[in-house]
Amino acid sequence: MTFWTKIAGFILRNRYLVLITIAIITGLLVTQMKYMRFSYTEANLLPTDHEANIQYNKFLEIFGEEGNLIILGVKDSTVFTPAKFNAWNKLVKDLDSLSQVDFTISIANVQQLKADRKQRKFIVEPLFKSAPKTNKEVDSIKKQLFEKLPFYENLLYNDQGTLQTAIYLNKDIVNTPARRDFITDVLIPTVNTFEKQHQLDIRVSGMPYIRTVNSQNIIDEMEIFVVGALLITAIIFFFFFRSFRATFITLLVVGIGVIWAFGFIGLFRYEITVLSALIPPLIIVIGVPNAVFLINKYQQEVKKHGNQAKSLQRVISKVGNATLMTNITTASGFATFVFVKSQLLREFGILASVNIVSIFILALLIIPIIYSFMPLPEKKHLNHLEKKWMENVVNWMERMVKKQRIGIYITTVVIIIFSMIGLYQIKVSGSLIEDMPKSKQFYKDIKFFEYEFGGIMPLEILIDTKKDKGVMKLSTLKRMEKLNETIETFPELSKPISITNLVKYSKQAYYNGNPKYYQLPTSQEKGYIFAYTKNSSSNSGMLKNFVDSTGRYARITTFMKDIGTDKMDIIQDRLQAVIKKQFPDDQYEISMTGKALVFLKGTNYLIKNLVISLSLAIILISIFMAWMFRSPQMILISLVPNMLPLLITAGLMGYLSIPIKPSTILVFSIAFGISVDDTIHFLAKYRQELLANNWKIKPAVYSALKETGVSMFYTSIVLFFGFLVFTISSFGGTIALGGLVSITLLLAMVSNLLLLPSLLLSFEKRIANKNVLKETKFKILPPKEDK
């Protein structure tokens, strides 16, 4: 009695115990789902000890959270009428009074810097002390702001008449659920009410706002697509099997698998991120093929001899091991992420591999046990095994392998050439907002602020003068101003904000507010202007936003448009050239940071790790094939059909201008895992047929093709439509993932049903012999049994 025969006996003899155990585990994992939480920050794709993370954390230590800015904007000439002007200011003051808001900068509370000649210090006064009642008063305020206060240009207004308000959230709530509650329950309803009352179109943006609204969209769509994928899978599955019970059982297995997936996320206390959100659809991907192979085998056995007990026992003993191998290899492919330094990838690798093994166990246990309680399938449920069109498809594949092998090889070579050309056209995108739904209002608002003010994603330059009070040296300020001027030459970056703006404003204030003096002081002016500054406490609040308490560190803040890694690399190189020229290494230490930049670098890091993990996965599969078949040729034969879909997918991404990014990068891992599944199923059946056909190659290949071809075809079509559901998403990355995986699944099926058997027939003669098989103690499938 073989090991798998014993397993089959144990499962079928202890049906109730197994089902109760599954129910208990499912119940326990459901209790863990309450610990699931969505990430309230951008996905950190880099390891904690990466230089970019070290620099970013250093910046946070000095200046605190930089992603706490929400901006409101309005571009409407009617806002400069008394009623709407005062209503706009009241809106900002109401928001400013909330505990979740640290402070606001707006036209409602704008301060003018003035020189007090008697006390030789600067003081601040409000731009206007009482609410304007006439158009003339509003126009006067507007003229004063737009023509006399260049310090606030691009901060509170632009030259097109657009107003902007900066709302700085309390830094303690920025990365907590309290931020989400404030934005969804307070900010959005308040702004919506204001818009209706005053017929003004208010634009809202800023990283906390974008993260919150985008996360909610991800949550909503993840629920829709899990349900949608299950629904479309069930419809296509039923179309092939014409059996409600088979469809129900498959959905039950996959449904429990999805519950387990969420339960494991809670159990491990992981956050739901851009990668871990892919686990539920991945469970559908792996679970459905398991069900297809097990149910198809059960129905084939019932058709052969009509003995239910023997059919169920053979389902477990004959398909169980092959299915285990396919799931183990797939899980191993994802488990390679565990060896990379990125926490995000490590968590994804652990979750994926644990859930893939879990869905195999669930399928192997639930499907035979539920069928054991049911009567034998009726003849109508087995008719799909004899469908004429399906038989024609299998016969066509057999004819192609028999007579058109040269054509298959030529086609393969042509496809490889075209795919290689496409591969070299792939671009990398580290954009934070590229995948966001273009039709949503918050995306349109992002574009509004990009056009009006230059961007919303902060890029920070940290300047370390290596000396206390080194920032306020005139030489340092002049160097910073040169860097500011360089930043202003980039259309992709907004006008920078730094201590130099405040120093220039101080000089303007010293010269009675004349805007032509909005410039850095000369060495002669520095002494008496800075003397005023030292005597002032009024601008210390402004100062702390640009310089730390010791005066050693300064920051230059600019905002980026939605740009990819290529443009950002060019910008960085040019800025680094200016930094190198202006800031000597022995006197200054300069670093560029900010969440957007860390995300960009993380994307590049992710790609490098993908290459490493894929390479490890390929090595693991190669070792497995070598151990299974004891043949170097078989490694090549089994890998070629698996690598081809990956290459075609990469080529398609190049031709369709789909960039490599965190949302599309896992297409390759999923594609490879599925391709390997089909290969192992085919080769397992092929080996069994070799033994049954006395090591005759051709009959073995054709028999394997006929028996596995139907299951592989069913699996690929079901999954093709299952993943195609994701293309109706509003997220670019989800659309690309669904479309690419769907296409790859069909390519993998064709590759494994045409190219793989062709390669076996062409190159297997030296290894398909009795001696090699005797050396191989490991058996995927037992020898064929009689009816």
Q: Is the pLDDT of residue 771 over 80?
A: no
Q: Is the pLDDT of residue 781 over 60?
A: no
pLDDT band at 778 (very low <50, low <70, confident <90, very high): very low
Mean pLDDT, to the nearest integer, of 138-161?
A: 88
Q: DSSP code of 378?
A: P
Q: Is the pLDDT of residue 775 over 60?
A: no
Mean pLDDT, to the nearest integer, of 242-270?
A: 89
Amino acid letter, 68: N
Instruction: Tell me the Ramachandran region of residue 154: left when phi exceeds 0, alpha when psi lies from -120 to 50, beta otherwise.
Output: left
Question: Domain range for residue 636?
Answer: 3-38+213-424+599-775
- Tens of pLDDT, residue by residue over 176-223, are 888 888 999 999 999 999 999 999 999 999 888 888 887 777 777 777
Mean pLDDT, to the nearest integer, of 521-548?
A: 75
Mean pLDDT, to the nearest integer, of 385-393?
A: 71
Helix (H) or strand (E) holding 290: helix 279-305
Rounded to an integer, what distance in angstroms lies between the CA atom of residue 458 and that of residue 119?
38
Over pLDDT 90: what percentage of the chain? 22
**pLDDT at residue 1, as a whole number:** 52
- Residue 362 is assigned to a structural domain of this protein: yes
Q: Is the pLDDT of residue 553 over 90?
A: yes
| One-character DSSP codes across 52-67 | HHHHHHHHHHHH--S-
Q: Is the pLDDT of residue 385 over 70?
A: no
- Residue 654 is assigned to a structural domain of this protein: yes
Rounded to an integer, what distance in angstroms lies between the CA atom of residue 542 and that of residue 497?
12
Rounded to an integer, what distance in angstroms lies between the CA atom of residue 204 and that of residue 562?
17
Q: Is the pLDDT of residue 629 over 80?
A: no
Q: Which among 683, 207, 682, 649 is positioned nearest to 445, based on CA atoms?
A: 207
Over pLDDT 70: what percentage of the chain? 92
Rounded to an integer, what distance in angstroms lies between the CA atom of residue 459 and that of residue 59?
12
Reduced DSSP (H G I as helix, E B as strand, rest coil) percent helix, strand, coil of the chain, to 5? 65, 10, 25
Rounded to an integer, what distance in angstroms lies between the CA atom of residue 19 and that of residue 376?
21
**pLDDT at residue 541, as a whole number:** 55
| CB-CB neighbours of 394 under 10 Å | 19
pLDDT band at 348 (very low <50, low <70, confident <90, very high): confident
- Residue 606 is assigned to a structural domain of this protein: yes
Q: In what order do the strands lie in the sheet with 101-105?
A: 101-105, 163-169, 69-74, 202-205
Rounded to an integer, what distance in angstroms lies between the CA atom of residue 719 and that of residue 150?
59
Q: Is the pLDDT of residue 787 over 50?
A: no
Query: Picking from 314-328, 371-385, 617-631, 762-776, which range would have the lowest pLDDT averaged per residue?
Result: 762-776
Beta-bridged to residue 390, according to DSSP, are none
Give the predicted TM-score (pTM) of the model: 0.76
- Residue 80 is assigned to a structural domain of this protein: no
- How buried is residue 5: exposed, middle or buried, by Cβ count under 10 Å (0-12/13-18/19+)? middle
Q: In what order do the strands lie in the sheet with 457-464?
A: 553-560, 457-464, 589-593
List of residues 6+ apart from 634 with CB closer than 8 A: 625, 626, 628, 764, 767
- Residue 57 is assigned to a structural domain of this protein: no
Rounded to an integer, what distance in angstroms lies between the CA atom of residue 222 and that of residue 201?
30
Mean pLDDT, to the nearest integer, of 231-246?
A: 80
Alpha-carbon distances, residue 650 vs 274, 278, 333, 608, 746 (angstroms):
21, 20, 18, 15, 15
Alpha-carbon distances, residue 50 vs 58, 338, 342 (angstroms):
12, 17, 9
Query: Picking from 59-68, 384-393, 736-745, which range would have the lowest pLDDT averaged per residue?
Result: 384-393
- Tens of pLDDT, residue by residue over 41-93, are 666 778 888 888 899 889 988 887 767 889 999 999 899 999 999 999 999 99
- Residue 724 is assigned to a structural domain of this protein: yes
pLDDT band at 731 (very low <50, low <70, confident <90, very high): confident
Q: What is the CATH number of the domain that holds 612?
A: 1.20.1640.10
Mean pLDDT, to the nearest integer, of 679-707?
A: 80
311 with 596: CB under 8 angstroms?
A: no
Q: Is the pLDDT of residue 384 over 70?
A: no
364 with 274: CB under 8 angstroms?
A: no
Mean pLDDT, to the nearest integer, of 585-601?
A: 86
- Residue 86 is assigned to a structural domain of this protein: no
Rounded to an integer, what distance in angstroms lies between the CA atom of residue 490 and that of residue 560?
10
State whether residue 706 is helix, strand or coil. Answer: helix
556 with 484: CB under 8 angstroms?
A: yes
Q: Is the pLDDT of residue 774 over 60?
A: no
Mean pLDDT, to the nearest integer, of 311-320?
A: 82
Q: Is the pLDDT of residue 611 over 90?
A: no
List of residues 6+ apart from 677 with CB closer than 8 A: 289, 326, 327, 329, 330
Rounded to an integer, what distance in angstroms lies between the CA atom of residue 546 and that of residue 460?
11
- Tens of pLDDT, residue by residue over 664-676, are 777 777 777 777 7
Q: Is the pLDDT of residue 690 over 50?
A: yes
Q: Contacts for 119-124 with beta carbons within 8 Å, 24 or more apart? A: 119/535, 120/531, 120/532, 120/535, 121/532, 121/535, 121/536, 121/538, 122/506, 122/509, 122/510, 122/532, 122/533, 122/535, 122/536, 122/538, 122/539, 123/536, 123/538, 124/538, 124/539
Domain count, the chain: 1
Pairing of strands 553-560, 457-464: antiparallel
454 with 495: CB under 8 angstroms?
A: yes
- Residue 541 is assigned to a structural domain of this protein: no
State whether residue 497 is helix, strand or coil. Answer: strand
The token duo for 64 is 């605190």
**pLDDT at residue 555, as a whole number:** 93
| One-character DSSP codes across 658-689 | --B-TTTTTHHHHHHHHHHHHHHHHHHHHHHH
* Rg over CA atoms, the chain: 33
**pLDDT at residue 776, as a whole number:** 47
